[in-house]
Amino acid sequence: MKETFKVKEVGIANRRSFLKISGLAMAGTALLLTGCNDDDDSGVNNNNNQMPGIRNGVFDFGGGDNGILTYAYALEQLEADFYTRVVNGNTFGSIFNTDEQAVLADLYNHEVIHREVLKQAINTAVNNNQQQVLPNLNFDYGALNFGNRNQVLDVARKLEDTGVAAYNGAGKYLANATNLVLAGKIVSVESRHASVIRSLINPDDAFFAANDVVEPSTGKNMAKEPSQVLSEIEDMGYIQTAFTANYLS
């Protein structure tokens, strides 16, 4: 797969620099709304016209609606892969009680379906040009012990909370109302996930909407810019495939 798409596997150090670079580029474009790039349309901010695809040997998410859909697709790939490993784990039936197993099995189902729907949406948007569809990413969870209930639930919490904040921050970059509603259909289910996972970790003290995810004076769930989300995803270290996101906002 990766040869087909000429996605270059790189070591941790290189991967880190790729993401660092992309984060800087995004911060720059976010601040300078008329920021420049080297596209051949002259004199306008055409980040939104940048298609997903390989640049300098690395897949870039592209800009505009296709870029945001690709960004969401990458996040859903991560979640789907994570829960696939969770439900496939040898100890899945012993470290989780019946309720927890049912929740995690549902989350596995939902995230795989989200991944496949976003893949379809992107395919439609790029007329099935496979050069413009993010390839299957590779994942490695390092020291994470899938046989440890608390570790698994904590990663699930981070992924769900991050996903919700990511969709919340990305919605404003969508120009197509159909895409906005599609993202909205997904994010509310992600938020339901985040709530339930949190209540499995701690059913009391309203942990489902604790102050670290819902600002108490406004009742607003966190929203995060793509650059911040990708920086946090990088720190998690689970995505092994290099990519850039130079045109997301």
Partner 1 sequence: MNIIKFIESFTDDNAFRQNASRRQSLGQLGAIGKKSLFAAMPTGLLTLLLVPQKSGAATALTTTADNNSPTDALRLALLLEYLDSEFYQRGLDTNGLIPEGRDRDSYTKIVNNEYGHINTLVQALGGTGSPNYFENPEFDYTAGGLFDPFNNYDQFLALSQSFEDTGVRAYKGQSPNLMSQPDLLQAALQIHATESRQAAEIRRLRGAKGWIQGNNRDGLPPQAQPVYNGEEMATQAGFSTGQVNNPGGPAIPSIAGTESFDEPLTREQVLSIAGMFIPDNPLE
CB 235 within 8 A of CB 20: no
Structure tokens at 113: 């379906």
Q: How far is the CB of 22 from partner 1 (least distance, A)?
A: 22
Between residues 42 and 211, which has the closer beta carbon with respect to partner 1? 211
**Closest separation in Å from C-beta 30 to partner 1:** 12
Binding stretches for partner 1 (CB under 8 A): 80, 84, 87-88, 103, 105-106, 108-110, 112-114, 116-118, 120-121, 124, 164, 167-169, 171-172, 174-175, 177, 180-182, 184-189, 191-196, 199, 203-206, 208-209, 213-223
Closest CA to 185 of 72, 78, 17, 105: 72
CB of 117 to partner 1, least distance (A): 5
Minimum separation from the CB atom of position 104 to partner 1 (A): 11
- Cβ proximity to partner 1, 19 vs 229, nearer residue: 229
Count other C-beta atoms under 10 Å from residue 178's C-beta: 10
The Cα 211–Cα 225 span in angstroms is: 19
Query: 186 is written with which tokens?
Result: 């997904």
Task: Beginning with the edge strand found earlier in the chain, give each strand of the sheet holding 53-55 in spatial order.
Answer: 53-55, 58-60, 243-244
Q: From the CB of 26, what's the least distance to partner 1, in Å? A: 16
Least separation, in Å, of the C-beta of 20 and partner 1? Answer: 26
For partner 1, the closer of residues 10 and 30 by Cβ is 30
Question: Which CB sits closer to partner 1, 19 or 200?
Answer: 200
Instruction: Please tell me the distance from the alpha carbon of residue 134 to that of residue 243, in angstroms, as a whole number.
Output: 9
Nearest residue (CB) to partner 1, 18 versus 167? 167
Closer residue to partner 1 in complex, CB, 19/26:
26
Whether 134 and 52 have beta carbons less than 8 Å apart is answered as yes
DSSP helix/strand/coil, 85: helix
State the amino acid at position 179 in one-letter form: N
The whole-angstrom separation of Cα 199 and Cα 94 is: 20
Residue 139: which of 208, 231, 74 has the closest Cα? 74
